[in-house]
Chains A and B, each alone.
Chain A
Amino acid sequence: MAALARSGGGYLERPASSGLADVIDVILDKGLVIDAYVRVSLIGIEILTIDARIVIASVDTYLRFAEAVNRLDLQQADDSQGLPELMESMTEGGAKSKSKGALEGVKDAVTGGGDDDDDDDKQKSSSSRRRSSSSGSSSSRSRSRKSS
């Protein structure tokens, strides 16, 4: 490696592997768009807001730290067990979404999942209202991406 040998005094520049924070906008706004796909009742609404993106990115950071810490473990730690468990507990909202819908999953992730269960009904109705009112704008926003 010429670059290594030549790096007299300086350090060798290398691209960092990207965390979700680096690419969240790209993932959500770019990529091939395929006609005629099935719309799974998704997604795509709260996730377009900047706040939600920031939260998603920091959750990714935490998960990566957790993974790294797991790998550090001195004894033969079973990281294939540690991470999924961690993900389960961090994404309880996701599990609940089976009954509550994906939007609640997002909302839980965004609010840290700290909502009390007793106001579930209120949340549900408000989020489904949001879903129907903003689904149009999410499409148009995706549409209006700049072409390069």
Chain B
Amino acid sequence: MPQDAAARVYVYGVLSGSDQAAVSVGGVEKAEVRTVEHAGLAALVSSLEADALAAAREVRAHWRVLEEASKSATVLPVRFGTVLDGDAAVREQLLEPNAERLAQLLGELHGRVQLNVKGEYDEERLLREVVGASPAVATLRDRVQSVSETAGYYDRIRLGELVAAEIARHQEQDAALALARLEPLAVTASVEQPSSPNAAFGLAFLVDGGEVDAFSEAVGRLRQELGERVALRYVGPLPPYSFAEADLSAGAAAWA
């Protein structure tokens, strides 16, 4: 296994030394994925020869490795594009100085998976609802429609402002509803930054392996409760990205 021990290595993630992560897909640059073990931990790595990586392609390779490894083990994902100066550096700079923190994270996450639940509005439907439910919006809309575009300039802005506020209110309510229904079945939850303009909410949950079925049923009930107003996207299991954030820097300024 200690092939190319001196070459640089690309790092995908860290798992417990007692876990087996079988990875058959090729890694970055199609290199074979292997582990570097130390202090009861194992780093998932592949040797790297190039000085430059084609990011668009390799981000996919990176994800494929983590996705596959996560099927059989709890893997702490490492930030995309992380390269260390050889197997020894993996032991000395990553595993050794952070052994306690990594083991603690792995302990907390063991047997648990991340499941993401995203809600998306159908924009037209949402807007109809907003106009129907808010007399202020409806009145302003009628006024704006009856005058020319220039004359109604400030009314238009005001209208847009009101609509945006109404949408924000919907988002808040729907996120709260989803959390109320799902959080009791999860170990913990994390509210993610909504990534699309029509997003109702983006939530990440850490769920015990044995609770996944119960959680999925709750997602099904939430889907019915939200009806056609909100389209749910339910994906996973993912490596515990939202629950394994840690800065393993020795000095805080080192990354800038």
A: which residues have CB within 8 A of B? 1-3, 10-18, 20, 22-28, 30-44, 46-47, 52, 55-56, 59-60, 63, 84, 87, 91, 93-94, 97-98, 101-102, 105-106, 109-110, 139-140, 142-143, 145-148
Q: Does B179 sit within 8 A of A, measured CB to CB? A: no
Binds A, one of B54-62, B130-138, B143-151: B54-62
Q: What's the nearest-Cβ distance from chain B to residue A85, in Å?
A: 13
Q: Are B62 and A40 in contact (CB under 8 A)?
A: no
Binding site for A on B (CB under 8 A): 8, 11, 13-14, 30, 48, 50-60, 62-63, 67, 76-85, 89, 93-94, 115-116, 118, 190-191, 193, 195, 212-213, 216-217, 219-220, 223, 233-238, 241-251, 254-256
Q: List 8 A-B contacts (CB under 8 A).
A: A26-B241, A31-B245, A35-B93, A36-B84, A40-B83, A56-B56, A97-B52, A106-B54
Question: Of B11, B60, B255, which is within 8 A of A35 by CB?
Answer: B255
Q: Hey, which chain A residues are within 8 Å of B48, CB to CB?
A: 40
Count the A-B residue pairs with Cβ separation under 8 angstroms: how many? 205
Judging by beta carbons under 8 Å apart, are A109 and B56 in contact?
yes
Closest to A18 in B: B235
- Which residues of chain A are within 8 angstroms of B57 by Cβ–Cβ distance? 87, 91, 94, 105, 109
4 additional A-B pairs beyond A26-B238, A42-B52, beta carbons within 8 Å, are: A13-B223, A16-B233, A30-B241, A36-B93
B55 close to A34 (CB less than 8 A): no
Contact present for A20 and B63 (CB under 8 Å): yes
**Cβ B8 vs Cβ A40 within 8 A:** yes
Whether the Cβ atoms of B52 and A102 lie closer than 8 Å is: yes
Residues from chain A with Cβ under 8 Å of B235 in the complex: 15-18, 22-23
Residue in B94, B233, B235 with the greatest tally of chain A CB atoms within 10 Å: B235
A139 and B246 contacting across the interface, CB-CB below 8 Å: no
